[in-house]
Copies of this chain bind each other. A is one copy, B any other.
Amino acid sequence: MTRTADLRQHTDTRERILDAAESLFVDHGFEATSMRMITGRAGVNLASINYHFGSKDALIQNVFRRRLTWLNQERLHALDRFEAEAKGAPLKPHQIVEAFFGVSLCMAADTERGGHTFMRLLGRTYTEPTAFVRQFLAEEYAVVVPRFKQALLRSLPDVPPDEILWRFHFMLGAMSYAIAGTDALQLMAEYELEETDPEALSRRLMPFLLGGLRAPLAGHAGKAKEKGSRRAV
């Protein structure tokens, strides 16, 4: 067997399984997606998942690794580019947001090669209850999150460190809902939601993220009530 032909065979059914699993996971979740559904859509034999990946859990990890590794590299490269451009000076907040979330939205805009599907899946998985999935995500983000946190710390020196991390987390949530949420929004507001255009989404989301990221801290003068009828409820 030539080496190339060998790999072709491998990757052919492997990719078909990964594609089928990815889209089915988005629509039904991990648990509710059976291996028979996956192999059925992929047009391959039931046993081939265990043959190529070993188990269903290993398949899930491969679904993520296939795209997430590349995505995080792109995020870091974007940050590298801005930092090289800044020549040692702290980046501006909008550059950091652009490096992380802009790249993410760019991937979410790719509807043809499955980037959109994957980003929807990824957004929902941050809050995934399953232990091994969350631990796997933690490993994938172990290097990228501290890099962005440090960049934000330098960019916003007056903001306490843990505040930065929380706001990063808030931004992550807003983005996940924004991507996964064409459905959820259409769901809550039964009328038209015309624009699924990815560039329009970016134009909407980025100002929101920056506005939240740079918002004045609570306890700074505040807004009129603060302790008045703040939580009248």
Contact = CB atoms under 8 A, between A and B. Distances in A.
A41 interface: no
For the residues of A in contact with B, the DSSP-based class is helix
Given A134-B187, A189-B149, A211-B213, A231 B162 contact: no
A210 interface: yes
30 contacts: A28-B129, A29-B29, A29-B31, A29-B128, A29-B130, A82-B232, A98-B231, A98-B233, A102-B233, A106-B231, A124-B127, A127-B176, A127-B181, A134-B187, A137-B187, A145-B189, A158-B232, A163-B204, A165-B185, A166-B185, A167-B204, A169-B178, A170-B178, A170-B208, A173-B173, A173-B176, A206-B218, A207-B218, A210-B223, A214-B232
Interface of A: 26-29, 31-32, 74, 78, 81-82, 92, 94, 98-99, 102-103, 106, 123-124, 126-130, 134-135, 137-138, 141-142, 145-146, 149, 156, 158-159, 162-163, 165-167, 169-178, 180-181, 183-185, 187-190, 193-195, 202-219, 223, 230-233
